[in-house]
Chains A and B, each alone.
Chain A
């Protein structure tokens, strides 16, 4: 999976917008949205929010967690805990990136938010790297990865699974050097 696809999946998340137009309920295949009343917040998927924002048809209400105070708290917790903590959103990094890119004017102190998010990401990535090291060293056959977000999983794919595949293959004595004829063609 590439990062564009991670983004594609994150774009399905809902975000509140305040439209500046009136419209009835729209029956999308993925669910109904609206009705839109100028000035009243309504939840829509991020892909739609971004498109409306670009056409200046709405203002985006930042998700509840997207403010400096809450994120500082998340960061502190992430620093103190040995394991990964639960992020306020399954796609916190992508959501923040998307919303800050189109709606920086709707989100107060967006530069600071960006910095804190980057810090959180860095802390988590360094935890991830040491976990990966652990997994490889202890030869784990199973690992629990709670609270890792899709983007983070994606960052160790395909390296980690692939390295483990190779280890598994070597341990079971079916390395390419021993393979004969037909096995040489197996993937």
Chain B
């Protein structure tokens, strides 16, 4: 019996990039924590999520085939449960944000290049449907019974935006130099975040570094 369950340890995420499944899992876990703690929606990670789902279902299929009393089966199942938890928590956190900041996110995303959109195609569909349903619901339940001058649903007026000026905890994954945070004036020295140091700072000042992976939210 093949003890690796016939799964490749290496996967291709894009044409010229091969990474180990272990690295994919780590990326997913980091993305999960970033998404959990950042006030705004971060770029989607469809590649990573799809890759992990494939791994899970591949592994599950293989597990079906072997003797269920094998000690490995239970160990693998436990690990799959843990990964599935991270995956669903990650996706659920994103959906919660999409529901809360729906109009804002759709507007922001429509100004981005198709390759750099934050919403995955599935999430985009969900966001648009959600927005329409909310509007229809208001319309049916309340607005049409209102006096004429207040019957219109104004998206801009109802829009909820994330508060980017909120404080977050973070750890530097590599050294970031010359940081000027919001609220610092010209007399302040630019800040250096040394690798592995931990900080608390305003999200708006470090957002781009979180997105490019220099800083990790904790």
Contacts and interface: CB of A to CB of B under 8 A. Distances in A.
A27 B167 contact: no
B160 interface: yes
A165 to B, nearest CB: 5
A145 B199 contact: yes
B88 to A, nearest CB: 13
Nearest to B39: A187
A30 B197 contact: no
Contacts of B9: 27
A8 B85 contact: yes
Contact of A141 (B25, B75, B156, B184): B184
A23 B3 CA distance: 10
Contacts, number: 110
A141 B202 contact: yes
Contact of B5 (A27, A48, A186): A27
A87 to B, nearest CB: 13
Contacts of B163: 165, 186-187
A110 interface: no
A48 B75 contact: yes
A187 B162 contact: yes
B51 to A, nearest CB: 11
B56 to A, nearest CB: 8
Contact of A26 (B7, B75, B83): B75
B200 A143 contact: yes
A93 to B, nearest CB: 16
15 contacts: A26-B72, A27-B4, A27-B7, A28-B76, A29-B79, A30-B83, A51-B74, A145-B169, A148-B198, A153-B198, A182-B157, A185-B157, A185-B160, A186-B163, A187-B163
Interface of B: 3-5, 7, 9, 21-22, 25, 36-37, 39, 55, 59, 71-72, 74-76, 78-80, 82-83, 85, 100, 156-163, 165-169, 181-184, 191, 197-202, 218
Interface of A: 1, 8, 21, 23-31, 47-48, 51, 57, 135, 141-148, 150, 153, 157, 160-161, 164-165, 168-169, 172, 181-182, 185-187
